[in-house]
Amino acid sequence: GGMAAALLLLLLLVAAGPGRGRAGAGRERRDTLREELLLSPLPTGDVAATFQFRTRWDADLQRGAVSHYRLFPKALGRLVAALGVRELHLALTQGFWRTRYWGQPPLQAPAGAELWVWFQPTVTDVDKAWKELSNILSGIFCASLNFIDSTNTVIPTASFKPLGLANGTDHHLLRYAVLPREVVCTENLTPWKKLLPCGSKAGLAVLLKAERLFHSSYHSQAVHIRPICRDASCLALSWELRQTLTVVFDFFSSGQGKKDWSLFKMFSRTLTDTCPLASQSKVYVDISPKNKEKELLEVSPPPTSVHEAVVQGDKKTYAVYDLLSPSLFNTSRSLNVQLKWKRPQDSSEMPIPTLHAQRYVGGYGLQTGEICTLIYNTHPYRAFPVILLETVPWYLRLYVHTLTIITKGKENKPSYIHYQPAQDRRRPHLLEMLIQLPANSVTKITIQFERALLKWTEYPPDPNHGFYVGSSVLSALVPSVTAMKDVDVEQSPLFTSLFPSSDGSSYFVRLYTEPLLVNLPTPDFSMPYNVICLTCTVVAVCYGSFYNLLTRTFHVEEPSRGGLAKRLANVIRKFRGVPPL
């Protein structure tokens, strides 16, 4: 009887369970994970691998206490809710993306650490929230983001517009900081991997092993959080978290001089299964023909499908491996995508990206210098504007009256300049300009600066290494070769939907130039005590002379009786036969 009653209760619970679950599904917040890996061979023989993990959560983090976190990491969710963050973009990068040789990057980040955040309009003290945010992120990612303070934070007015849903754009809610000296290593990769729903145990994340990832020319890991429309009507908000990792394997060091790449050669791992929490898990290989020739690149095993898209203004073809399709792991338990070149690639025909830039320091000596930026527009007939953002630390004193912009030998006046001069030890220089780049031209922007002498405690431990100047940011809408259709974010690959596109005729590109290393004159660090003594001696010489002259008066000298020394001298004189003193 009791047994039967217990069994009945159990049956009831089981029956009610799914029912309750189903009823609750409407209340429960739905989150989805999509992961993808894009392998693009670069013209110089290197290969770039871009991982993207996108968690989309149909919940409103700002309002209502959200307590149950499933796929969305709790650390970041609570951060967004507590500090009133609307958008957060953090990138940790080691190396430099060589746009000239590798082409336009899907998503570039400057060397070091870069953090830019849009806050909600409800935040009253944005600077306080910014300081708290950088400290919390410093703890989450084991990076020295706590060095972000007012001396390296700027408020750009035009370069960084919100990438997610935004109501108004009061740029006082935006903060941007770069730490060019920041080094990226395994300590930063580990917490980044921990934020992934499957960790590094299943899915594409098994490839992320530190010993291969940091043995590369370029390594960039980023976290992007932004609000997006839940559906086409855009009546409700969803939060999107994208974790991206871009790594470029060098042809000579990792590839051992051979242009045959494979997942095993790159990551020393192969893909064995998918992340059970992911709703989509794909590997894309860029097999677009270059120079209008058919299929130089051969991939094996054969892909599950082929996808064509217009990416960055150009028609591209991708071989797609859908890890969730049952046919993929039929033959072998692991997937090792191999790329082979059918014909040796003609290296003289390297495609040049439409927009690329270069920056360097000119001048000699430790007193003055010049920052020169060269921006190339290689489009044969279209001109387009570019916004240049330069953040220069306060100890390199910029002289904006020496700013010259020369295109094709003539002066090019920017249509918009926003310049905020630096204040010593408080804020850096901010220079934002909108420059029109004529077709097929090189624009040279030069500005002179003076190097300051700092206090001896303000130098880093290796003062003669120099001081880093963060990369400058170029934001432009580059005209595309092929018109792009409007993409539906849910259906298209992740790498096509990072930047919102306004119309199909141009695509948004954000480029970063090289960081600069500038030497400052140094005082002698072993001398504080000596300097204090010597300078105070000089002041005391003045004080002493003036004290004597002011407090003493002239007197006729009284003859002195003679001390011991005089008597001794007289004795010696008597011996010599000389008259006494």
Q: Is 421 helix (H, G, I), strand (E, B) or coil?
A: coil
Binding of other proteins at residue 553 (CB under 8 A)?
A: yes
Residues in binding contact with other proteins, number by CB under 8 A: 51
Restricted to residues 361-380, the positions that interact with other proteins (CB under 8 A) are: 364-368
Q: How far apart are CA 126 and CA 132, in angstroms?
A: 10
Give the x-and-dash track for 481-520 against other proteins (CB under 8 A).
Answer: ----------------------------------------
Residue 203 CB-density burial (10 A; 0-12 exposed, 13-18 middle, 19+ buried)? buried
Q: How far apart are CA 238 and CA 222, in angstroms?
A: 20
For 418, other C-beta atoms within 10 Å of its C-beta total: 18
Binding of other proteins at residue 399 (CB under 8 A)?
A: yes
Residues in Cβ contact with 274 at an 8 Å cutoff, skipping those fewer than 6 apart: 202, 203, 281, 323, 324
Closest CB 110 distance from other proteins, rounded Å: 24
Closest CB 423 distance from other proteins, rounded Å: 5
Closest CA to 241 of 83, 510, 515, 35: 35
Binding of other proteins at residue 416 (CB under 8 A)?
A: no
For other proteins, which residue of 557, 563, 565, 576 counts as binding (CB under 8 A)? 557
Buried b / exposed e across 136-145, counting CB within 10 Å, b at 16+? Answer: bbbebbbbeb
Q: Which is nearer to other proteins, 22 or 455 (CB)?
A: 455
Binding of other proteins at residue 401 (CB under 8 A)?
A: yes
Closest CB 154 distance from other proteins, rounded Å: 14
Restricted to residues 418-477, the positions that interact with other proteins (CB under 8 A) are: 419-425, 452-457
Binding of other proteins at residue 539 (CB under 8 A)?
A: yes
Expressed in angstroms, the distance from the first to the final Cα of the chain is 137
Q: Which is nearer to other proteins, 22 or 555 (CB)?
A: 555
Beta bridge partners of 311: 314
Task: Tell me the C-alpha to C-alpha distance, in Å, between residue 476 and each of 158, 275, 511, 512.
Answer: 11, 37, 8, 12
Give the phi and the psi of residue 320 in degrees, each rounded to 5.
-110, 130
Q: How far apart are CA 559 and CA 556, in angstroms?
A: 9
Binding of other proteins at residue 556 (CB under 8 A)?
A: yes
For 469, other C-beta atoms within 10 Å of its C-beta total: 24
For other proteins, which residue of 535, 562, 566, 573 counts as binding (CB under 8 A)? 535
Q: Which is nearer to other proteins, 538 or 565 (CB)?
A: 538
For other proteins, which residue of 12, 383, 406, 531 counts as binding (CB under 8 A)? 531
Closest CB 429 distance from other proteins, rounded Å: 8
The site for other proteins (CB under 8 A) is made up of: 364-368, 394, 397, 399-401, 417, 419-425, 452-457, 521-524, 527-528, 531-532, 534-535, 538-539, 541-543, 545-546, 548-550, 552-557, 559
